[in-house]
Structure 1
């Protein structure tokens, strides 16, 4: 049993992380329905994340943390803006207009979007004469087609089998205007998320201290989100939260997701590689859909289900192609004389294939 546990330990841990992300969708939606401002939530959540991660970053990376220069801090500021201030505000606001099932499905397109951006920036190679290169192109196009299907086509409602067991879905997200607005925000957040992955990989080359970088992004991102919230919202009451679902969702997002889940993902990435970690993303989508439909009585549309299936198919095609790149890189790269350009490409795409929330890694 011990050998069996050690063999499948990464699989079990990654499945548990998807359960963690599944509850995140619903506890935040319940908090937003209760009246929690999404922008205030992001600010408080990353303050909690920064406070929790600071002691680990300070003691564990004391020797490897490089000095923080003005230029490096400016880079971290932009990185925080992309990863927290901009992306997460669009991401969680989109959740108030759409549904957890839709948002969880759209997140699967981040790997494809990152691949497209890397191609444009010439950070990624694409050999269409190779079957795996063709798989990367087809997988990217299929994933993008899936998210377009979810965004532009809703279709008929799939009837619920019975009354919901839990009632938290009290918003009017079924209106077409709100759904389209939420869809655009969700897709835009994924694009910003993808750019953040690429920039994060480059920043880690100059600041190779992941815990410290995460702590900085949490605090800087929280400050940016606070300024943004103050500008667009003038209600001081929005900053007051009691001992209710708003507090628990903030603590859960900051401690469990930004702390425990990210640690598990980093460990699994080191043990099995980023492709292994990314392969579990669709499980989160399936878990969200099951919980939303059978437990919460959420309205599911044919377009959302069809689009999610298309996205998952495209994701696995892309990952299959990327796995081939990893093997070729391992075989061709010499330990005595590493190719820096290839190393940058692999590191960028590896970071892009990890499913982690900006500001959390």
Structure 2
């Protein structure tokens, strides 16, 4: 009887393993927002953080990419290196520098909510360049358009309308050092930076889909982008930051936030998302993105004592509704149809190949998180 119970528990675990992993990934991103905000308030330069984090992430991913994809990597050419350079600029160098800089002027709740708009912006760009099919005679096609418009409406509300400040329930359980009230001008500056980063992030996902066709080694490409993006961020930091002290990290929150970002977010979560994409497809991965938004809002209000505005809360809800409309519309795109007569001849390894092909076709909707 005990063996049967263990067997049942094991089968349940295997069934829900991707769900548990993706929920854990969103928990990891939730912690990221607060630990980086605390680090920036402590005085760490966001551009130095991006540089150190991605160099560390690249070092950790490199051995896995080297051994696991030894036979999969194509030969590097000058044209491909240039493409990786531009891809790294949009994926790391430009995007994440503006993204994390915006966290200094806004709040974790706002930034986490805005991430959900990347799928909608990517869809708009994909349709414009005809990488995405749009059939308005199909309910799913209508859902794609409706979801995009609803998400963008939520963004406009969060950016332009703050509304009344929700009353705090008491003293925060955890205080983030250096946290002060955000001025209206700073909020607008931060909003512009966040929106800009989401636009460039969307361009990155489109480019990533095209680059993966010529360089289909995902781990190796991630390692390349980490090193090249980290180098780009270093050059940008040297130009904008002339103080040598900015590069020095003490044994404090700055060190822990860098290690956390490099080890957990740029390495472990990347592995989780790649595995879940192969097993369940890209739509499954993106469905979990709003979880971090909800968790950040709950923690920010109840634990860290962050002041939430009604405009931000309503706007975030609208963005999430729009995201799920878009994902429902795209769900049909990620399905792979196999004829019944061919199903028996497909081996376990072939099934995985089919899933990977499905993921690569819609790869631009992957991992809309920092």
1:222 to 230, 234, 237: 230
- Which position in structure 1 is the counterpart of 2:22? 14
Q: CA 1:268–1:66 in 2, change beyond 3 Å: closer, same or farther?
A: same
| Cα contact 2:105–2:189 (8 A) shared by 1 | yes
- Which position in structure 1 is the counterpart of 2:337? 330
- In the alignment, the residues of structure 2 paired with residue 356 and residue 181 of structure 1 have an alpha-carbon distance, to the nearest angstrom, of 22
Measured after TM superposition, the shift of residue 64 of structure 1 is: 1.1
Q: Is 2:111 aligned against 1:99?
A: no
Measured after TM superposition, the shift of residue 215 of structure 1 is: 0.8
| Rg comparison, structure with higher value | 2
- In the alignment, the residues of structure 1 paired with residue 277 and residue 72 of structure 2 have an alpha-carbon distance, to the nearest angstrom, of 20
- In the alignment, the residues of structure 2 paired with residue 132 and residue 138 of structure 1 have an alpha-carbon distance, to the nearest angstrom, of 10
- Which position in structure 2 is the counterpart of 1:350? 362
| Cα contact 2:282–2:334 (8 A) shared by 1 | no
Structural mapping, 1:1-361, within 5 Å: 1-168=9-176, 170-327=178-335, 330=337, 350-357=362-369
Q: Compute the RMSD of aligned alpha carbons.
A: 1.9
Measured after TM superposition, the shift of residue 357 of structure 1 is: 4.4
| Cα contact 1:201–1:347 (8 A) shared by 2 | no
Measured after TM superposition, the shift of residue 288 of structure 1 is: 0.3
- Which position in structure 1 is the counterpart of 2:345? none
- Which position in structure 2 is the counterpart of 1:338? none
| Cα contact 1:104–1:288 (8 A) shared by 2 | yes
Q: Is the partner of 2:169 in helix, strand or coil? A: coil
Any stretches of 5+ residues in structure 2 without a counterpart? Answer: 1-8, 343-354
- In the alignment, the residues of structure 2 paired with residue 285 and residue 222 of structure 1 have an alpha-carbon distance, to the nearest angstrom, of 26
| Cα contact 1:83–1:196 (8 A) shared by 2 | yes
Q: CA 1:152–1:277 in 2, change beyond 3 Å: closer, same or farther?
A: same
Any stretches of 5+ residues in structure 1 without a counterpart? Answer: 336-342
TM-score (normalizing by structure 2)? 0.91
Measured after TM superposition, the shift of residue 169 of structure 1 is: 5.7
Count of aligned pairs: 348
Q: Deviations over 1:102-137 (max 9, x none)?
A: 000000001000000011111111111111110100
Q: Is the partner of 1:145 in helix, strand or coil? A: helix
Measured after TM superposition, the shift of residue 349 of structure 1 is: 6.5
- In the alignment, the residues of structure 2 paired with residue 273 and residue 70 of structure 1 have an alpha-carbon distance, to the nearest angstrom, of 32
- In the alignment, the residues of structure 1 paired with residue 158 and residue 60 of structure 2 have an alpha-carbon distance, to the nearest angstrom, of 37
Runs of 4+ in structure 1 deviating by more than 4 angstroms, as ranges, are: 345-349
- In the alignment, the residues of structure 1 paired with residue 117 and residue 235 of structure 2 have an alpha-carbon distance, to the nearest angstrom, of 30
Q: Is the partner of 1:261 in helix, strand or coil? A: helix
